[in-house]
Amino acid sequence: MEHFLGIDIGGTNVKCGLVSSEGELLEKTKYATTELQKENSTMESLVKVIGWELEKHSNVKKVGIGIPGTLSKDRNSTIDLPNIPDLAHTNVMGTLKAAYPDIIFHMENDANAAALGEFYFSKATMPDDFIFITLGTGVGGACIMDRKIFKGGNGNGLEIGHIIAGNGKTIENNIGKKGILGMALTTLEGYKGKSVLSDMGSLNAKKVIKAAQEEDKLAMEIFHEVGKYLGEAIVSAVRLFDIHTIIIGGGVSKTFHLVEKSMYKKIYDFLSPYYTDDLRIRLASLRNEAGIIGAASLCFIED
């Protein structure tokens, strides 16, 4: 049986996973990104790590790699990687093909890879077109259109976190983790009621999320606000792409039940029945291992 290697490169960890043709994660190894950077270059370390993995799994002939940054449209080289600067502007494909000529490599932006993983391996039935939004430290996006990753003109589309929200700031500045923390701090200042957030000392977005999950009123109010901005992002994306399925992933998406109401309010205020009649917005089904499985799913791309 053919197995695939998925490599999820992140600012904190590089995760390698052996994935079956059914999208099952069979085995996983994790390397601290900073450790890999201690060598000559992250690229050099990556070549080594992939060598070890290929040695362990001799039945692997295809490797998919997810990259946290922008890529050339032909997917041979990286452009910008804010969290791993020494891997920026690197001909990753050229280096890997030279090192392992018998192996087929695929490289994609990590959000695109996660969306493709969802397309191939979601527990739900997936349509041919959907928009994928990740709510985390940043707000990322991807789009599967006609069963393929949508690249955009120069290769790096779907920067949904950077479109403009109804208050004139970007979506990410509003509802990225920093935005959520900022909202919490501002709201807390003038707040007359009781909130667990007042007693938590130095706040962060994680604490605000936890408080909201535990039904703290102020924290829940924050996510009511988050829903409005998420709704605005969806309105603009749906109008431009005419896609009616939206999949929400990322760590902050665990608050989805708290954002839904205000999100839908915004959407119904701005979208006509042509869009809303078959609109579906739901959580991603791949969770923790979406990165690895998404990277491996690049090996499944139909030609």
Where on the chain is the footprint of a copy of itself (CB under 8 A)?
Answer: 70, 79-80, 128-130, 141, 145, 151-160, 162-170, 232, 235-237, 239-244, 270, 274
Q: How far is the CB of 70 from a copy of itself (least distance, A)?
A: 7
Q: What is the dihedral of CA 168, 171, 177, 182, to 10 degrees?
A: 20
Residue 105's contacts (CB-CB under 8 Å, 6 or more residues apart) are 62, 63, 64, 65, 93, 96, 97
Identify whether the C-beta of residue 162 lies closer than 8 Å to the C-beta of residue 128: no
* Cβ closest to a copy of itself, residue 46 vs residue 139: 139
Q: How far is the CB of 82 from a copy of itself (least distance, A)?
A: 11
* Cβ closest to a copy of itself, residue 13 vs residue 76: 76
Q: How far is the CB of 278 from a copy of itself (least distance, A)?
A: 9
Q: How far is the CB of 232 from a copy of itself (least distance, A)?
A: 5
Q: How far is the CB of 231 from a copy of itself (least distance, A)?
A: 9
* Cβ closest to a copy of itself, residue 101 vs residue 273: 273
Q: What is the CA radius of gyration of the chain?
A: 20
Strand 3-9 to 60-67 pairing = parallel
Residue 202's contacts (CB-CB under 8 Å, 6 or more residues apart) are none
The widest CA-to-CA distance across the chain, in whole angstroms, is 66
* Cβ closest to a copy of itself, residue 71 vs residue 184: 71
* Cβ closest to a copy of itself, residue 51 vs residue 82: 82
Tokens of 178: 């920093």
Q: How far is the CB of 127 from a copy of itself (least distance, A)?
A: 8
* Cβ closest to a copy of itself, residue 52 vs residue 274: 274
Residue 284's contacts (CB-CB under 8 Å, 6 or more residues apart) are 114, 118, 122, 132, 247, 248, 249, 253, 290
